[in-house]
Amino acid sequence: MKLLRFGPTGNESPGIIGPEGEIRNLSGHVSDISAATLSDQALDVIRQLDVATLPRVEEDVRVGPCVNGIGKVVCVGLNYSDHAEESNLPLPAEPILFMKATSAVSGPNDPIRIPRDAEKTDWEVELGVIIGREARYVSEEAALDHVAGYCVANDVSERAFQAERGGQWVKGKSADSFGPLGPWLVTRDEVADPNDLSLWLEVDGRRYQNGNTAKMIFHVPFLIAYISRFMSLQPGDVILTGTPAGVGMGQMPQTYLRPGQRVTLGVEGLGQQNQLVETGS
């Protein structure tokens, strides 16, 4: 299934993609796409619905973040060897973890707003993993049983804040609009192998990133098991699993986003995002 949320910011309704690629309204059956909707049992109830009988939604509706009520966004740094190389950093012996503020989460086609005093706003296409069942000290073999689904993510980053202002990476990762998620939450049964998905990103039509999740240093089951040893993962939590080479920081010369540019990105089978870059307030 492809689940989504649509409507005005802060007032989204739950939806599902129908047989012709159209949006159908789920609000008569679930209140939202959030923690309560993400268990295997709750998803099975949705699967039993005759989607073609649900109310059809107009095509030009805004699409919001594909999950609501996120408890935490856990990010993995330098998880592709080619990205570590372009960053001039050694391959990590263990996953590098950092957090992105949940207030950064936005819709897949909402604008990227460059924050005040920013100098080096960058892009990062990533595979997002959405947790459906509590994970605490889980084994790698059982890790994917705790996944509700997957989504496209753009881990937008302000490199000057991240690397030149001291402290931890979170300050360069958490500005409002720096966490587009969606368009859909694609349930795990529709993703045969999360570590065999192509992903790409373009700025103004120029392709900068063109990778595959097979090139992750630490694969998705390992990441879930690893993270669950340091914190419990709760339904609705999101893991951003890292980005391949091709970020602006790695270009020669370095290239960063400017107002008026258009960012498009996607992950195989999970849809696409399309963001206009704007000056933030």
Is residue 260 in some structural domain?
A: yes
The burial class, CB within 10 Å (0-12 / 13-18 / 19+), for 41 is: exposed
Is residue 47 in some structural domain?
A: no
Is residue 228 in some structural domain?
A: yes
Q: Is the CB of residue 109 less than 8 Å from the CB of residue 273? A: yes
pLDDT value of residue 166:
82
CA angle 133, 77, 131 (to 5 degrees): 10
Rg (CA), the chain: 18
Q: Which residue range is the domain that position 253 belongs to? A: 69-279
pLDDT value of residue 83:
81
Is residue 199 in some structural domain?
A: yes
* Average pLDDT along the chain, 281 residues, taken 10 residues at a time: 98 97 97 97 97 95 98 96 81 95 98 97 98 98 98 98 87 97 98 98 98 96 98 98 96 97 98 96 72
Element (DSSP H or E) covering residue 22: none
- What DSSP letter does each residue of 212-263 carry, written as one string? EGGGBSS-HHHHHHHHTTTS-B-TT-EEE----S--GGGSSS-----TT-EE
Sign of CA dihedral 139, 141, 145, 149: positive
- Domain of 125: which CATH number? 3.90.850.10
Is residue 37 in some structural domain?
A: no
Is residue 240 in some structural domain?
A: yes
Domains contained in the chain, number: 1
The single-letter code of the amino acid at 81 is S
Q: Is the CB of residue 89 less than 8 Å from the CB of residue 206? A: no
Is residue 22 in some structural domain?
A: no
Q: Is 0.85 topped by the overall pTM?
A: yes
pLDDT value of residue 82:
81
Is residue 128 in some structural domain?
A: yes
Beta strand residue intervals within the chain, DSSP E: 2-6, 13-17, 23-25, 73-77, 96-100, 105-106, 112-114, 121-122, 125-131, 147-154, 157-158, 179-180, 185-187, 198-203, 206-212, 238-240, 262-267, 271-279
pLDDT value of residue 179:
98
pLDDT value of residue 167:
81
